[in-house]
Amino acid sequence: MSPVAEEMLANFLNQLKYEKRASIHTVKSYQRDIERLSGYCKEKLILNWAEIKQADVRAHIAGRHRKGMGSKSLQRELSAIRSFYTFLLKNGLAESNPAQHIKAPKQARTLPKTLDVDQINGLLDAGASSPLEIRDLAMFELFYSSGLRLSELSSLDLVDLDLSDRSLLVRSGKGGKSRILPIGGKAVTAINNWLQERAKMTAIDNVALFVTTKGPRLGQRSIELRLSQWCKKKGIDQHIHPHMLRHSFASHLLESSQDLRAVQELLGHSNISTTQIYTHLDFQHLAEIYDKAHPRARKKPE
């Protein structure tokens, strides 16, 4: 690029740093992303930013994608380029923003990891031998029974449960939406066992359902650590995180009921396309069974 073009970039980065008060990390990130575009321009003998066309930005991003750059990284690079050209436009140094309508390639959607029914039974039937384990078992049963998010389970209060009706109210769901969920019989039993122990641990005016030994509400990170410790103590080698219980709930329910709308409501998804990923899980499971069982599914060795 020409010395004038390099000066424009330097001025943009100074504006980010001193006027926009962007962090050093952000400034360096923008600098790297735009310098990559500058490298493309040098290869194409483009000397000034105003000469870059939409086709150039698209070709640059496509080349980065071919080199293995992921969708999120490319989205960030496009965002940096758009911001730079917004700066150039405001200062009369460009006539258009060539990155304005260019989108990064879509990220391949990864399927959530789930446990099969036997693994769930092994996890939840391991038995509880202390007050803390009784609490933990109640949490894990509730995760799987009602398909809760980690944040939703952590924020549950005593008044949110109606054990006689076997239901609970999620007040702080994603997007601020509330929903009523059923509670399975085994989870009800585990919660009743925990409530007896809870009364010995905390003050009567404490509203939190799940508390620490000292009384305060159990936080999300602590719940994750308790699940990890539970697995180690019970001899479960697989790394299991709380959302795997939610994913397993959704997958098993959809596999049995085939009712996508009902699963959407139970999970609290605002868009059914989010729930549809579990249909892919179900098909993947069926495909694996097919490959193992069908006599003509597998290739014979050559």
**Which residues are catalytic, by number?**
149, 174, 243, 246, 269, 278
- Going by C-beta distance under 8 Å and a sequence separation of 6 or more, which residues neighbour residue 218? 135, 139, 154, 208, 210, 211, 212, 226
Phi first, then psi, for residue 208 (nearest 5°) are -65, 140
Residue 234, both tokens: 């019970």
- The partner residues of 168 in beta bridges, in order of sequence, read 161, 181
Query: Nearest-CA neighbor of 202 among 180, 218, 191, 224?
Result: 218
Query: Nearest-CA neighbor of 284 among 81, 49, 111?
Result: 111
Residue 298: Cβ-neighbour burial (10 angstroms; 0-12, 13-18, 19+)? exposed
The residue assigned the tokens 């980010």 is: 16
Distance from chain centroid for Cα 301: 40
